[in-house]
Amino acid sequence: MPTIYQTLKTDHDKHRDLLAKLAKTQGDSEDRRKLWQTFYYDVSAHAAAEELSFYSKLIAESEGQPEGRHSVAEHHELEEMIQGLHEMKFSSPGWLARFKALQERYEHHIEEEEKEIFEKARQVIGADSKGAIGAEFTSLKKTERGKVDEKAEQALED
């Protein structure tokens, strides 16, 4: 069973690939629509499951709180950027510029997670050598995937 670190890194690599492909799209194309749909649902479910399975454990320990809270705050900033893009017309002249700002911010976030947060988490919550946290994340991500639309509607109401 893959560890939480391997599982998250695999997702991050998938997200990097989707972002690179999206950056090459133009206008309201079928490619842009499909790639965005995949990215939007996957990253939204990923973030929710990561907070529930990984960051909750990191924040539960006092020495992991600063890093955990920082990353969760970044999740919320990214969530707002993603939701703003999701509500924009793909043909809008500003869509690609806003997307590229999101891409830069998201790639910074996942690089920071992989290089700094993972190291701290290994010290605080352990190596997850049996993959228990990784399995929990995978299960939660499937559940959270079904809640993405519901959460987006609630965000609009707030």
Total number of domains constituting the chain:
1
Query: What local confidence, expressed as pLDDT, does residue 145 receive?
Result: 94
Listing DSSP states for 9-29 in one string gives HHHHHHHHHHHHHHHT--SS-
Query: What local confidence, expressed as pLDDT, does residue 154 receive?
Result: 73
Kindly provide the b/e burial profile for residues 89-120, where b requires at least 16 CB atoms within 10 angstroms of the residue's own CB.
Answer: ebeeeebbeebeebbeebeebbeebeeebbeb
The low-confidence residues of the chain, meaning pLDDT below 50, are: none
pLDDT in tens, 1-23: 999 999 999 999 999 999 999 99
Note down the domain range covering 15. Answer: 4-157
For tokens 């529930």, name the residue: 52
Closest CA to 26 of 90, 120, 105, 81: 90
pLDDT in tens, 87-106: 999 999 899 999 999 999 99
Cα distance from N-terminal residue to C-terminal residue, the chain: 39
